[in-house]
Structure 1
Amino acid sequence: MSSVEDILPLIELKGITENSRASAGSVLQGVSQSMANATRTSHLSALDSCRDEGTAFTLKMVAIAAILFAGACGIAIPLVGRKRRFLGTDSNLFVAVKAFAAGVILATGFVHILPDATLSLTDPSLPEVPWQAFPFSGFIAMMAALVTLLIEFVGTQYYERKQEKESKIAQVDSVDVLESGTAPKVFGEEGGGGMPIVGIHAHAAQHRHSHPQDQEACSGNKRVHPHGHSHSLDIYDGNEEGVMRHVVVSQVLELGILSHSVIIGLSLGVSENACTITPLIAALSFHQFFEGFALGGCISQAQFNTVHASIMACFFAITTPLGIAVGTGISTIYDPESPKALIVEGIFDSVSAGILIYMALVDLIAADFLSKRLSCNTRLQVTSYVSLFLGAALMSLLALWA
Structure 2
Amino acid sequence: MMAVGAILVAGVGGVAIPLVGRKRRILRTDGSLFVLAKAFAAGVILATGFVHMLHDAQTALTDPCLPESPWQRFPFSGFFAMLAALGTLVVDFASTQMYERKHREEQMGLKAAASAAAAAATSSDSIIAAAPEFDEEVGDGEDPMHIVGIHAHAASHSHTHSHPHGHAHAHDDEGQVSSHVRHVVVSQILELGIVSHSVIIGLSLGVSQSPCTIRPLIAALSFHQFFEGFALGGCISQAQFKNSAAALMASFFAITTPAGVGVGTALARQYNSRSPRALVVEGVLDSVSAGILIYMALVDLIAADFLSRRMSCNFRMQVASYVALFLGAASMSSLAVWA
Provide the TM-score with structure 2 as the length reference.
Answer: 0.85
**Mapped partners of 2:299, 2:111: distance in 1:** 35
**Mapped partners of 1:286, 1:323: distance in 2:** 17
2:312 alignment partner AA: S
Post-superposition offset of 1:84: 4.2
The match for 1:17 is: none
The match for 2:142 is: none
Post-superposition offset of 1:205: 5.0
Instruction: Tell which deviates more after alignment, 249-258 or 171-180.
Output: 171-180
The match for 2:126 is: none
1:269 alignment partner AA: G
Post-superposition offset of 1:337: 1.4
**Mapped partners of 2:166, 2:282: distance in 1:** 52
Post-superposition offset of 1:175: 3.3
SS at match of 2:170: coil
Equivalent pairs, count: 304
The match for 1:13 is: none
**Mapped partners of 2:234, 2:323: distance in 1:** 19
The match for 1:49 is: none
Aligned pair 1:105/2:45, yes or no?
A: yes
Matches within 5 A, 1:242-281: 242-281=179-218
Where does structure 2 lack aligned partners over 5 or more consecutive residues?
123-158
Q: Could you tell me which of 306, 317, 321 is aligned with 1:380?
A: 317
**Mapped partners of 1:237, 1:93: distance in 2:** 28
Question: CA 1:397/1:256 → structure 2, altered by over 3 Å: closer, same or farther?
Answer: same
**Mapped partners of 1:207, 1:138: distance in 2:** 46
Question: In 2, are the aligned partners of 1:98 and 1:294 still within 8 Å (CA)?
Answer: yes
Calculate percent identity across the aligned residue pairs.
65
SS at match of 2:81: helix
Q: Could you tell me which of 89, 106, 111 is aligned with 1:149?
A: 89
Post-superposition offset of 1:114: 0.2
Post-superposition offset of 1:260: 0.8
Question: In 2, are the aligned partners of 1:247 and 1:302 still within 8 Å (CA)?
Answer: yes
Question: In 2, are the aligned partners of 1:86 and 1:93 still within 8 Å (CA)?
Answer: no
Cα RMSD (Å): 2.2
Greater relative CO (CA pairs within 8 A, separation 6+):
2
Question: In 2, are the aligned partners of 1:77 and 1:296 still within 8 Å (CA)?
Answer: yes
Post-superposition offset of 1:392: 0.5
Question: In 2, are the aligned partners of 1:265 and 1:320 still within 8 Å (CA)?
Answer: yes
Where does structure 1 lack aligned partners over 5 or more consecutive residues?
1-60, 183-198, 211-232
The match for 2:63 is: 123
SS at match of 2:213: helix
The match for 2:155 is: none
Provide the TM-score with structure 1 as the length reference.
Answer: 0.72
Question: In 2, are the aligned partners of 1:105 and 1:356 still within 8 Å (CA)?
Answer: yes
**Mapped partners of 2:176, 2:121: distance in 1:** 31
Post-superposition offset of 1:98: 0.4
**Mapped partners of 2:195, 2:165: distance in 1:** 42
How far does the alpha carbon of each residue in 1:276-308 deviate from its partner, in whole angstroms, 9 at most, with x for none?
Answer: 111111111111000011111111112211111
The match for 1:82 is: 22
**Mapped partners of 2:302, 2:231: distance in 1:** 11
Matches within 5 A, 1:218-229: none
Runs (4+) off by over 6 Å = 201-204
